Amino acid sequence: MKDFQPSRRDFLKIAGGIGVALLGTGTASKVLPAKKMLRPPGGQQEADFLSRCLRCDRCRSSCPTKVIGLANVRDGLVNTRTPVLNFHQGICDFCRKCMEVCPTGALQFFDPLRDKIGRANIQPDICLAYDSRGCRLCVDACPYGAICMDAQNLPVVDEEKCNGCGVCENVCPALVLHGFSGNRTQRIRGIKVEVREGGEDK
């Protein structure tokens, strides 16, 4: 009997068929629950964003700071190949290029002084200031004056001023220093921008 050797096209068809079958039974959403994703600016209304995004990759290709990456299947089937922000790669300076090239309006008008991508949260277990090492890089780097030192010399985020640009997470050296000291259990930095409660513009 002739061996069956599937081409790449056959493989994609089979994989797609399995995906559709799993979606039909609801199994996919249980096995691969959708995570909350940090979208490029203007994509914070998650349900509307997902219904419009074509996964066309234009926003990622046009981003000059390379802060846009792609979600994968581990982020949930519905999120696969949608654009997400990765502040370990870059920062968002709100240049608007991604919004301009988006063909469907998945990324809509965004005012960085009013709208929010997310919120920066201090991670006390990792932040070097909590480790008595006197770091204040995030305070000095924030372009919106949204972080200050409190009376104990610990960084505090002003939720109203923070728009989630990612500069603080990008400059934080804690991951590197903890990595050198052998602590590889935490893959986040001492400050991490996260989706705001509800995941919508506030």
User: To the nearest whole angstrom, how small is the minimum distance from the Cβ of residue 91 to ligand SF4?
Assistant: 7
- What radius of gyration do the chain's Cα atoms show? 20
Binding-site size, ligand SF4 (CB under 6 A):
41
User: To the nearest whole angstrom, how small is the minimum distance from the Cβ of residue 180 to ligand SF4?
Assistant: 24
Q: Which of 68, 72, 118, 78 is nearest to 98 (CA)?
A: 68
User: To the nearest whole angstrom, how small is the minimum distance from the Cβ of residue 103 to ligand SF4?
Assistant: 6
Q: Figure out which of the listed residues 28, 71, 84, 107 binds ligand SF4, where binding follows CB under 6 A.
A: 107
What residues from 150 to 179 belong to the interface with ligand SF4 (CB under 6 A)?
Answer: 157, 162-168
What residues from 118 to 157 belong to the interface with ligand SF4 (CB under 6 A)?
Answer: 120, 142, 144, 146-147, 157
Residue 59 to residue 121: CA distance in whole angstroms? 26
What residues from 5 to 64 belong to the interface with ligand SF4 (CB under 6 A)?
Answer: 40-41, 53-59, 63
For binding to ligand SF4 (CB under 6 A), which residues are involved? 40-41, 53-59, 63, 65, 67-68, 83, 92-98, 101-104, 106-107, 120, 142, 144, 146-147, 157, 162-168, 193
